[in-house]
Structure 1
C-alpha cells in the first residue's frame, strides 16, 4: 500500500507535525486551498498567513455578541474584510472539531447538538500591523480557551461574557492550516472564491458591510438570554405537565420524576439518559432551555481521553 505524500502547502501553514499528513488527504483542506490558489496564485500562502477566521457560533449569535467581537478585535489591530452568515448543524461542528472531540464525553456531544445548531456569523479578519506570528494564531490567542479557569482577564471570551465551557460563544481557527480547512467545511466554492477576492483587495464588499450593520442592530435585541434558573424551571415545568397529562407509562413517569429530582438538586447527571427519557415520553421542552439547564451538570470529558490534535498556541510560532 502506498501513502499519499503531504500536500506541499500544508507544512508552511502549521507547526503541528500531525496536520500535514492529515489535512493533505482531507477534501476540506484540498478543495479550499485550490480555490484560494486559483485567485491568489503565488501569494496564496503569504495571504493566508495575514488573515484568520473567527466564527460567532449559534449561541453567541443568539446572545447578541457579534458587534462586541468585531469591536474587540478592531481594538487589537485587526479589521474585518468579509462578514457573512453561516449555518451550523451537528454534522458541521463535528467536522470542524473531529480531531478535538475525541476527548469529549457522549453527554457533551449531545448537549453541543442543542447549542451549536442554527445561524452563525463568520468574520474574516486581516491584521493591520506587522507581526512575526500568523494572524490566525494571534486571533486564537486573544480569544482565550473554552475552559474559563484558564482564561486571561482581557481575552475575548471574558469580554463577551461566556457563561460556561459548553456555551463558549465563539470559535477561531488555531493556525493558518486550520483557517484553510475551515473554509472548506463552512463555505461553498462560490463563497470561498468571494472571500479570496476580499483577502486580495482588503476591502469588504457592500453586502458584507450591510450584513454587519444588520447584525449589530439584531445584537440590541438578542434572541436568547442565559438564565440557568429560569431555564431549569421551564424544563421541570414541562416534565410536570407531561406527567400530569396522565398518559405516560409508569416506567416513563418514574424516569421523569427521578430526572426532576436530579435537576432540582443540581446533581451531576447523564444527558444521554435524561434526553432519552424526555424523547420517549414526548416531553415538549425548548432545546435552549434544556441545554442551559444541563450545561453545568454533565461530565464534559472522558477520563483519560485526549485530543488527536491540540492547539500549540503562540509559542510554537515564536521566532527561534
Structure 2
C-alpha cells in the first residue's frame, strides 16, 4: 500500500492556509502521522482531529513550575486531557518544530534555543475541546487562548496567566491548526507512541488521565531544579555570589534599557553557560533578555491562522 491520498474535504478540515497545504503534502512528519491517524480512525481521520488540541511544555515550563497552572487553565477553558507522553526535545526536533520561523530568528537565538530546549524532559499533552461546535478546531481555539507573539497579551491569555517574562521564556507551545498537530506528533513521538496516543484519545477518562499526569509532573519536578525567572532577582544574586562582575551586570542592564545587544558568544565569555542545574537557567534567562532575537526585514514563513480565519470560511457566501 502507498500513502493515503488526502481528499479536498480532509484538507479543508486541516488548515485554512494554501501555503501550508503545499508544504505539508510533501512533509515527512505530516505524512507519517497522517497514515497513523488513518490506521486508527479510517475515513473519519480528519473529522477526529476537529476537537483535538496539542500542548507541549518547554523545559522552561518544567523548571519554572508552570505545568500545574497550565493544566488548570486549559481545563477551566473547556479542554479535557485525553492523553500525554513524556518527551525530550533535541537540537534537531526543535529546529523541525519551528522550521518556518527560524528564518526570522538570529543564529544567536538558535544557539540559546538549542541550549534551553535540550535541558530536560517534558510532557506533550493531547486535549479535547468540549466546546467544539464543528467550526473552529480545538487547536485554533487553544492557540488563540495562548496569545500570539505578534500582539500584546491580554489578562486572560495563557501567556499572561503564566507570567511569561519575555518572548523567549514562554513555558509552553501549542499546535496552531489540525495540520500542525499531525505534523508535530510526527516530530516528537515515534510510530507506536503516536498510534497509542491517538487510539486512547477517543475513550479516555479525562479525570484519570489528569491524575496520572499530575503524578508524573510531581516526579519530574522532584528531579529538576526550580527557577523563578525574575531577571532582577537573578542579576542581584549572580553579582552577590561573585559569578557576575559588576561591570558585566552594568552592561546587561544597559542592554535591557535599550542599549546595543550582546551576542551569545559575548555573553558566554562573560558568563560561561553551565550544562545543567540553576546556573544553566541563570544563563538562559539573561541571554533571553540581551541577545539579538530577530533578523531585521524578515517574517515567519507560515503565519498562524486565527479563529476569525476559520469562522470567515463559514460565513455566508464563502462556500
What's the TM-score, normalizing by structure 1?
Answer: 0.83
- Between stretches 30-39 and 123-132, larger displacement belongs to 123-132
2:291 counterpart of 1:298: yes
Which residue of structure 1 lines up, in the alignment, with residue 31 of structure 2? Answer: 30
Kindly indicate whether residue 220 of structure 2 is the aligned counterpart of residue 227 of structure 1.
no
Partner of 2:136: 133
Q: Confirm or deny: 8 A CA contact 2:84 2:197 kept in the other structure.
A: no
Alignment of 1:278-297 (within 5 A): 286-297=279-290
- SS at structure 2 position matched to 1:296: helix
Q: For 2:86 and 2:201, locate their aligned partners in 1 and report how far apart those are by CA, in whole Å.
A: 17
Distance 1:233 1:49 in 2: 48
Q: Does structure 1 residue 277 correspond to structure 2 residue 237?
A: no
* Contact 1:235 1:290 survives alignment (8 Å): no
- How far the C-alpha of 1:110 sits from its partner, in A, is 2.0
Contact 2:140–2:305 (CA under 8 A) maintained in structure 1: no
2:5 and 2:166 mapped to 1: Cα distance? 38
Q: Quick one: which of 139, 159, 173 aligns to 1:157?
A: 159
Number of paired residues?
A: 298
Structure 2: gaps spanning 5 or more residues: none
The answer for the alignment partner of 1:146 in structure 2 is 149
Give the Å deviation of 1:129. Answer: 2.3
- Cα 1:258–1:273 change in 2 (3 A) is farther
Distance 1:297 1:50 in 2: 39
The corresponding residue for 2:214 is 212
Which residue of the partner structure matches residue 116 of structure 2? 115
- 1:57 offset after TM fit, Å? 1.1
- 1:264 Cα shift? 5.2
| Residues 203-237 of structure 1: CA deviation (Å, up to 9, x unaligned) | 35967742323315766997222132343356663
Q: Secondary structure at the match of 2:214?
A: helix
Alpha-carbon spacing, 1:300–1:168, altered in 2? closer, same or farther (3 Å): same
Post-superposition offset of 1:90: 2.3
Tell me the secondary structure at the aligned position of residue 289 of structure 2: coil
Residue by residue, what CA displacement relative to the aligned partner does 1:242-283 show, whole Å, maximum 9, x if unpaired? xxxxxxxxxxxxxxx98565225444323233156359xx77
Which structure 1 segments of 5+ residues have no match?
A: 241-256
Show CA shifts across 1:24-61 (max 9, x none). 11110011111111011112111111101011211011
Q: CA RMSD in A?
A: 2.9
Matches for 1:163-242 after TM superposition, within 5 Å: 163-203=165-205, 209-215=211-217, 223-233=226-236, 237-238=242-243
Q: Distance in 1 between matches of 2:19 and 2:273?
A: 45
* Counterpart in the other structure of 1:67: 68
